[in-house]
Structure 1
Amino acid sequence: MKRLALSDEILLKIDKPARYLGNEINAVMKDRNAVDVRFAMCFPDVYEIGMSHLGIQILYDMFNQREDVWCERVYSPWTDLDKIMREQNIPLFALESQDPIREMDFLGMTLQYEMAYTNVLQILDLSQIPLYAKDRTLDDPIVIGGGPCATNPEPLADFFDLFYIGEGETSYFALLDAYKASRAAGESRVQFLERAAEIPGIYVPAFYDVTYNEDGTLASMEPNNPHAPAKVQKQVVTDLTHTFYPKKPLVPFIKVTQDRVVLEIQRGCIRGCRFCQAGMLYRPIRERSLEMLTEAATEMLRNTGHEEISLSSLSSSDYSHLPELVNFLIDTFGNKGVNISLPSLRIDAFSLDVMSKVQDIRKSSLTFAPEAGSQRLRDVINKGLTEEIILEGAGQAFEGGWQKVKLYFMLGQPTETVEDEKAIAWLAEKIAKRYYEIPKDKRNGKCQITVSTSFFVPKPFTPFQWARMCTKEEFLDKAYIVNSEIKAQLNKKSIKYNWHEADVTVLEGILARGDRRVGASLLAAYRKGCLFDSWSECFDNDKWLQAFEETGLDIPFYTTRHRDENELFPWDFIDIGVTKKFLLREWKRAHEETVTPNCRQQCQGCGAGSYHAGCCPTAAMVTGGENA
């Protein structure tokens, strides 16, 4: 029986102690003395969120297939246990072995959203690992960051030994082999980092010097070590069918956010929405084969006992074998009590037909994401969705028995006007009207439309990375306009309106486009007690404002400032495949209100095709986006 890091007395005092026990179904246990490398994989948020992340499941399975590696897991302790661990000096531990994280060779953190950055510092602090990378020795783990936020690693640069840029299935084994060779040769920590910097996709912040102009903008970022490349190239899996995918995913003992089997059907997106970072980062689109997916679905359901399977993709409707896959799942598992979840679908006749077979229409709601209320603004953001398509989809849904619709929009996007904001209410009203046009005897009760607006944050590696961001007050004014206009509609009783927290959005904007100087503010906020900033009950904006003031951070510089076309960005040293020239062209097309066709209609020469010649039929005709 394994030793637990927490006593029974502590477990009885905290909420959901099962978060910290490990030993879940399909957890991997190994002899610590029989492996060469121990790797702690971390999601810097609470267990329920981290256990729902597919990327960690993939890497956990992949690493543990090597006999010389034991990959374990660690998540952020919730505030109740955090307090006890500090008071009693209990070091943070891995779930599988319950051994302290500081005894591991590697600590790898996935950076999925900016609001988890203070949790990154919590993980290091509770692990009793020096917060600054420069203060670590051979006795400390190598701290790695990865995930979408690692494509602008600079706000966190001082706290990480290295960052992995891209998809983990490609270069991680080379990194582990380099570590083993370095240790066998008796090398120093710096010598290992030099080996690592030569591996494609690896960025070592200490090996780069940053200078700034008098106006605060970035002047240069140059390697100071001959082993470090001037450009770090994002790593991409070109063949998703013949790569790693967990057939025995971990099954938690408590309810988590995504308590189901997740079947990733493809990566990337053909749509080219100009605000969407994921749509640019994960280019080119790559599909898994139908044979691989049907086999994986069967094995995962058998090995987990889950009663639901979800198809994961940025745009599931664009998967070329979707009808065959869905029909297989329905025919094979539909009569066995297995629910099928189909997120990210464009609402069309096929999708509605499928959903009617797998959902309880009376209980479920349909989700549309128009992102903007007016057609003009949808053209600006290149949404590729017309009002006619939206109303047609809603009408088909209502006639099929649905009565609940969720609508998602963003406020504060480039060129947005008051009329665009009011158009959100007008579109919701048109959808409600479409419902009440159905004969009364065919309606399924009262129509329920939920309108939700988030606030726009310009993200790196998108055409909108040059955009000015709104202030907190401007965001709230926009929400007030939408709310007032909804209340003025004829069917206002059928429409409910929710909006995101504006102060959280401003912080996200600072961290998203921040440079290395933001790290000092981040550390100051953490030391003031900021933690779990993505949780509304924990977020404390006043502490963040105090931290910014004490460290001299100029909020408008990172948020509302207009950026010149030629400005050097903190993330420009990373090559994600999509060229800056292409992004700038799309930024200009946005202001022209010009729609760019999707990748399957016409290759736009974004540059990502150089990773995978089969991403579109015309990719070979364009060289890296430079001739587009």
Structure 2
Amino acid sequence: MRKLALNDEILLNIEKPARYIGGEVNSVMKAKEEVDIRFAMCFPDVYEIGMSHLGIQILYDMFNRREDVWCERVYSPWLDLDKIMREEEIPLFALESQDPIKDFDFLGITIQYEMCYTNILQVLDLSQIPLKASERTEEHPIVIGGGPCTYNPEPLAEFFDLFYIGEGETVYDQLLDAYKENKKNGGSRQDYLEKAAQIEGIYVPSFYEASYHEDGTLASFHPVKECAPKKIKKQMVLDVTDTCYPEAPVVPFIKVTQDRCVLEIMRGCIRGCRFCQAGMLYRPTRERDVERLKYYAYQMLKNTGHEEISLSSLSSSDYTQLKELVLFLIEEFQGKGINISLPSLRIDAFSLDVMEKVQDIRKSSLTFAPEAGSQRMRNVINKGLTEEDILSGAGQAFEGGWNKVKLYFMLGLPTETEEDMRAIPELADKVARRYYEIPKDQRNGKCQITTSTSFFIPKPFTPFQWAKMYTNEEYIARAATVKHAFNDQLNRKSLRYNWHDAEVTVLEGVFARGDRKVGKAIEKAYSMGCIYDAWSENFSYETWLKAFEETGLDIAFYNERERGQEELFPWDFIDIGVTKVFLRREWDRAMKAEVTPNCRQKCSGCGVGVFGGGVCIEGKN
């Protein structure tokens, strides 16, 4: 019987002790003396968030299929336990074995969101692992970073031994086999890092050096060891149907954010929205076979007892076998008390027909993401959506019985004018007006149009990676312009408006495009108490500003200037397949508000087809 790392007294005095005790249905137990490698897989946020992440479930399943590896899970302790662990000097532990993370061979951390960066330091600190890779010894685990934020790993470079760039199903076996071989031969930590650097997709930050111009921009970035390549090539699964997928995912004891089975139906997106990093990173589109998905649906529901199944992708409407899959799920499972969730759908006649069958329309609201209020602005961002598309979709929904709509927009996009800002409430009003055009006896009470705006953040490997951002005060002023314009609308009583936190946006912008120097500010902020920055009740903008000031870093340098065409970016050493030439061409087209057709309409020559060995199914670039 396992001995818990926390005693009864501690468990009784913390919130939700089930976050820490492990033993959930489908969690994997092995005899540690019978494995060669122990791998701790970490999501640097609270259990309820981390347990909802599909990527970790996939890797957890894949690693544990190997007899020589035991993969366990670890999450950030919440503030109450964090305090106790520091006071009692209790090392952070894995859920399955309850053993200290510091005793493992690897600590793998998925980095999904910039505002979790201080939580990464929390995990290392509580694990009693030195924060900086340069200070670790043979006794410490190899610390690996993966996930979307690693496409600019530089702000975190000093804290990680290596980064895995790309999709995890490709070269992890090589990485683990190299570790076993190195261990067998008595090799050192440094020996292993040199071997790892020669595996495609692996980036070892300590093997690279950055130099800077007098103005602070990057002058050069190059390897200082022969074993390290000049370019790190993104790892990509070409056949997603036959890759590993968990048929029996771990079932949490407590309610988590995504408390359901998840079917990943495809990877990639054909749309080419110029602000969207995921749409560029995960090209080309790769679909899972519908028959395999039907099988997974059966297996996961049987093995978990979940009462909901959700389809996952960047744009589910673009999955070519969507109709067959959805009709199958409705026919097979809805009569058995299973709810079907269909996010990422464009609102068209088929989608509405399906949603009417799978949702209680009295309780649900439909979501549209026009992203911009004016047609000019939607052309700038290459949204591929007209006002008629939006109003037509809303009209069909209203006629089908819905009366609640959520609209999502961005403020602070490149070339945005006051007219573009005011177009947001005007479009929301037109949607409401479309509802009230329906005869009164056919309406479902009053309509409610909830509009939300986030502030645009330029991300690496997008056409907008050259764009400038604004100050906290300027963002708030833009939100105020929109709010005042809402008060001028005819149907204002049916309209609601809220906006994202501008202070968080400013920091996200720095971390998204920052260089290696930004790590100093992250470490300083952590030492000053910053943790769980993604949680508004814990976020302290003033502390972060002080951290930047004390480390001599200027937020304005990272955010408030438009990058030059020839500027070397901190992430330019990574090859994602989409070329910088293509991204710049898209930036130039954005400045002229020119629309680029989606990949199925016309190949735009982004480079992915060549990168993937001609496997881009949408075009022949």
| TM > 0.5 | yes
Contact 1:380 1:590 in 2 (8 A): yes
Partner of 1:220: 220
Residue 618 of structure 1 aligns with an amino acid whose one-letter code is G
Indicate conservation of the 8 Å contact 1:238/1:612, yes or no. no
- The 2-side partners of 1:54 and 1:411 are apart by 30
1:160 is displaced (CA, Å) by 0.1
CA distance in 1, matches of 2:444, 2:403: 6
Cα drift, residue 12 of structure 1:
0.7
Q: Is the 8 A contact 1:284 1:612 kept in 2?
A: no
1:616 has 2:617 as partner:
yes
Q: Could you tell me whether the CA contact under 8 Å between 1:279 and 1:314 is conserved in 2?
A: yes
Counterpart amino acid of residue 205 in structure 1: P
Secondary structure at 2:167 match in 1: coil
C-alpha distance in structure 1 between counterparts of 2:465 and 2:442, whole Å: 47
Q: Distance in 1 between matches of 2:452 and 2:613?
A: 37
Given the two structures, how large is their TM-score scaled by the length of structure 1? 0.98
Does residue 1:35 correspond to 2:35, yes or no? Answer: yes
State how far apart, in whole Å, the 1-side matches of 2:542 and 2:85 are.
26
What's 2:284 paired with?
284
Counterpart of 1:151, as a letter, is: Y
Runs of 4+ aligned structure 1 residues displaced above 6 Å come to none
Whole-angstrom CA distance in 2 between matches of 1:169 and 1:332: 30
Q: What's the CA shift string for 1:436-494, capped at 9, x where partnerless?
A: 00011111111001000000000000000000001111110110011111111111110
SS of 1:613's equivalent in the other structure is: coil
Question: Is the Cα contact below 8 Å between 1:41 and 1:71 reproduced in 2?
Answer: yes
Matching residue of 1:597: 597
The corresponding residue for 2:393 is 393
User: Is contact 2:238-2:615 (8 Å) kept?
Assistant: no
Distance apart, 1:192 and its partner CA: 0.3
Displacement of 1:327 in angstroms is 0.4
Structure 1 match to 2:163? 163
Question: How far off is 1:138 after superposition?
Answer: 1.0
- Matched with 1:76 is 76
Other-structure match for 1:445: 445
Aligned equivalents of 2:315 and 2:347: distance in 1? 11
Equivalent position of 1:182 in the other structure: 182
Q: Give the Cα separation in 2 of the matches to 1:563 and 1:292.
A: 45
Report the Cα distance in structure 1 between the residues aligned to 2:25 and 2:449, rounded to whole angstroms.
Answer: 40
Amino acid at match of 1:480: A
2:98 is paired with a residue whose SS is coil
**Percent identity of the aligned residues?**
71
Listed as ranges, the matches of 1:3-402 within 5 Å are: 3-402=3-402
- Gaps in structure 1 of 5+ consecutive residues: 623-628
Q: For the residues of structure 1 that align with 2:308 and 2:244, how far apart are their CA atoms?
A: 22
1:180 aligned partner, one-letter code: K
Counterparts of 2:615 and 2:598, CA distance in 1: 15
- State the 1:604 CA deviation: 0.8
Q: Secondary structure at the match of 2:99?
A: coil
Instruction: For residue 613 of structure 1, report the CA deviation from its aligned partner.
Output: 2.7
Opposite residue 503 of structure 1, the aligned amino acid is: E
Counterpart CA distance in 1 for 2:603 and 2:90 is 55
Match runs of 1:457-606 below 5 Å:
457-606=457-606
Q: Which string of whole-angstrom CA distances, capped at 9 and with x for unpartnered residues, describes residues 113-167 of structure 1?
A: 1000000000000000010000111100000000000000000000000000000
SS at match of 1:457: coil
Name the amino acid aligned to 1:613. G
What is the distance in 2 between the residues matched to 1:452 and 1:96? 40
Residue 423 of structure 1 deviates from its aligned partner by 0.2
Measure the CA separation in 1 of the matches of 2:590 and 2:138: 50
Separation in structure 2 between the aligned mates of residue 617 and residue 524 of structure 1, nearest angstrom: 46
1:603·1:616 contact (CA, 8 Å) conserved in 2? no
Q: Please state how far the C-alpha of 1:561 moved relative to its aligned partner.
A: 1.4
Is contact 1:599–1:616 with CA below 8 Å preserved after alignment?
no
Give the secondary structure class of the aligned counterpart of 2:368: strand
Q: What letter is aligned with 2:303? A: N
Tell me how far apart the structure 2 counterparts of residues 219 and 27 of structure 1 sit (CA, whole Å). Answer: 48
3-state DSSP class of the match of 1:10? Answer: helix
1:626 paired residue number: none
- Counterpart code for 2:373: G
After TM superposition, give the deviation of residue 62 of structure 1 in Å.
0.1
Shift in Å, 1:614: 3.8
Gaps of at least 5 residues in structure 2 are none
Distance in 1 (alpha carbons) for counterparts of 2:346 and 2:397? 12
What secondary structure does 2:550 align onto? helix
1-structure distance, mates of 2:329, 2:616: 27
Partner of 1:625: none
Shift of 1:615: 2.3
Normalising by structure 2, report the TM-score.
0.99
- Aligned equivalents of 1:229, 1:319: Cα separation in 2: 36
Question: SS where residue 39 of structure 1 aligns?
Answer: strand
Q: Secondary structure at the match of 2:390?
A: helix
C-alpha deviation, 1:612, in angstroms: 5.4
Q: Secondary structure at the match of 1:615?
A: coil
Corresponding residue of 2:416: 416
Give, in angstroms, the shift of residue 609 of structure 1: 1.4
Superposition deviation, residue 616 in structure 1: 3.3
Q: Give the Cα–Cα distance (whole angstroms) in 2 for the partners of residues 495 and 80 of structure 1.
A: 39
Change (3 A) 1:518 1:617: closer
After TM superposition, give the deviation of residue 617 of structure 1 in Å: 5.1
Q: Is the 8 A contact 2:108 2:145 kept in 1?
A: yes
| CA displacement, residues 146-204 of structure 1 (integer Å, 9 cap, x when unaligned) | 00000000000000000000000000000000000000111111110000000010000
CA distance in 1 between counterparts of 2:614 and 2:88 reads 56
2:285–2:618 Cα contact (<8 Å) kept: no
> What count of residue pairs does the alignment treat as equivalent?
620
